[in-house]
Structure 1
Amino acid sequence: MKKRIYQILSDPPKGDIVGNTISIGILLLIAVNVFVGILETVPELNKNHSAFFFNFELVSVIIFSIEYILRVWACTSQPQYQGMIKGRLKQMGTPMAIVDILAILPFYLEILLNGLIDLRFIRILRLFRLFRIFRVGKLAEAFQMLGHVLYNKREHLLISFAIVIIVTILAANLMYLVEHEANPAFSSVPAALWWAIITITTIGYGDMFPITVWGRIIGGGIGFLGICVFALPVGILGAGFVECVEDEVPTEKLICPHCGNDVHEPVTKSND
């Protein structure tokens, strides 16, 4: 029973109707909680429907509490959580379990402390529970592929990130040199660094802009350079995804008609 409960609540296998139904139901409840939490910040709605928000949260916290307790109780059925106390403490120390308890703990503290402190800001941690969606079906496989790509291309991504930092700092120093005397907005390199960041990222808030001729020339070049610089990690990730997809293409054993050696080609290619 413990093994089955833990399987349903943690990682139901494909084709498990009960497990996947409960898993999807929990995910929908998390999503609705996020949506209701957004609506609760509207003063008019909070004032006119405070009872609904409280009751909805009460029901949600009860469900999440039952889920958490059952998972902690059933975790000892897994080899990595052996031991009545040690195993459960180990499971409670996992990142997702910590997020789960932090997501429901503020509700109980508010009741116990009778509103002496407002812990609603901690409820933002419920957003992290949305990451569970990556454990469902094809999304789980896609998320694992993303992790492999980031790991395999970590050195290239770090290099591109270093290039972005160098270009940003260089841009801030250049704009400070040509603008600080005529433009008080560029009074220091840190102040110019803000402009460099929003320019290189192509956001362009417009709160800071060069006014000298050289400043505008340099600013235009930096804005164009920002597009090129941020194309680097995009290209690296794109190439990484292509490599992962090609690695997953099944192959079949072929015999070369000329030399008789084995030839491995993707099954999608012609034998010719």
Structure 2
Amino acid sequence: MNQAIRFLIAFSIIVAVLATEPVVRAEYIDLLTVLDTIIAILFLIEYLSRLWIAPLRCEARPGIRGVIDYAVTPMALLDLLAIAPTILGIVSPELYLLRVFRLVRIARIGRSKNLQKSIKYFNRIITSKKEELQISAIYSGIVICISSVMMYIVEGHIQQEQFGSIPRCLWWSLITVTTVGYGDVVPTTPAGRLVASLTAICGIAVIAIPIGIISAGFTEAWSREQATED
């Protein structure tokens, strides 16, 4: 049953994504409408079934009170939000995407021992490496601030629209340090290009340091787990 629900959620999201493409929507609008209606009906049946059995849950209040208690839970409200537009006859690509909220259901249904163990490991690693990650964050902030100031000094008077203030330079610095490099704002002077090159080189460490810390934490946690089992 859980696998069927996961499949239905994934399929509904695929339909929602395809419905945002104008070419697909113009060519297959009738098919999309039929699929959306079928999906909404199946989700509605599943939603009403969960409302029906809600009072049977452990520690649930009996009767209508148990139904109301479940209906106002975040998970039930997300489900209702996902199916409401189609049930009310409101169809648009933007409202289709409300089904993305149902990905939360996949996460809840997919709670297995392995998933819970992975989450436990991750939380333990983040906690144990908190100081190292804080140092990495401070380093990243310093690199971004210094490169923004330097770029403002060398390029601010030449490209005032792009680098005319430090806040404007912060956008460029953040994108460069994270190695995304959109290319929408680039320096034109030799000094500016030198600053950009140094910023990009420092940006490699901004990404590599926290990844290395977390990877080392995973290795340590796994080694401890294996030693405990042995």
Under a length normalisation based on structure 1, what TM-score does the superposition of the two structures give? 0.71
Distance 1:81 1:250 in 2: 42
Distance of aligned partners of 1:199 and 1:141 in 2 relative to their CA distance in 1, 3 Å threshold: same
**Code of the aligned partner of 1:125:** L
Partner of 1:103: 82
- Which has the larger share of helix? 2
Q: Give the deviation of 1:32 after TM superposition.
A: 1.3
Partner of 2:217: 240
Distance of aligned partners of 1:80 and 1:196 in 2 relative to their CA distance in 1, 3 Å threshold: farther
Residue pair 2:129, 2:217 contacting (<8 A) in 1 also:
yes
Partner of 2:173: 196
Q: Residues 1-272 of structure 1: matches in 2 within 5 Å? A: 22-109=1-88, 111=89, 120-134=93-107, 135-137=110-112, 138-154=114-130, 156-184=132-160, 185-249=162-226, 251=228, 267=230
CA RMSD of aligned residues (A): 2.7
2:226 is paired with a residue whose SS is: coil
1:244 is paired with a residue whose SS is: helix
Percent identical among aligned pairs is 34
Q: Give the deviation of 1:205 after TM superposition.
A: 1.8
In structure 2, the gaps of 5 or more residues are none
Distance 1:122 1:148 in 2: 38
Distance 1:90 1:162 in 2: 45
Partner of 1:254: none
Deviations 1:56-105 (A, max 9, x none): 11111111112222223323333353344454444334333222111111
In structure 1, the gaps of 5 or more residues are 1-21, 252-265, 268-272
Deviations 1:179-230 (A, max 9, x none): 1112332112222112101110111122212222322222211111111022
Distance 1:73 1:244 in 2: 44
Distance 2:216 2:59 in 1: 36
Which protein shows a greater Rg?
1
Residue pair 1:210, 1:216 contacting (<8 A) in 2 also:
yes
Distance of aligned partners of 1:191 and 1:56 in 2 relative to their CA distance in 1, 3 Å threshold: same
**Code of the aligned partner of 2:205:** C
Distance 1:94 1:247 in 2: 38
Residue pair 1:106, 1:120 contacting (<8 A) in 2 also:
no
Residue pair 2:16, 2:99 contacting (<8 A) in 1 also:
no
**Code of the aligned partner of 2:87:** Y
- Which of 83-92 and 171-180 deviates more? 83-92
Under a length normalisation based on structure 2, what TM-score does the superposition of the two structures give? 0.83
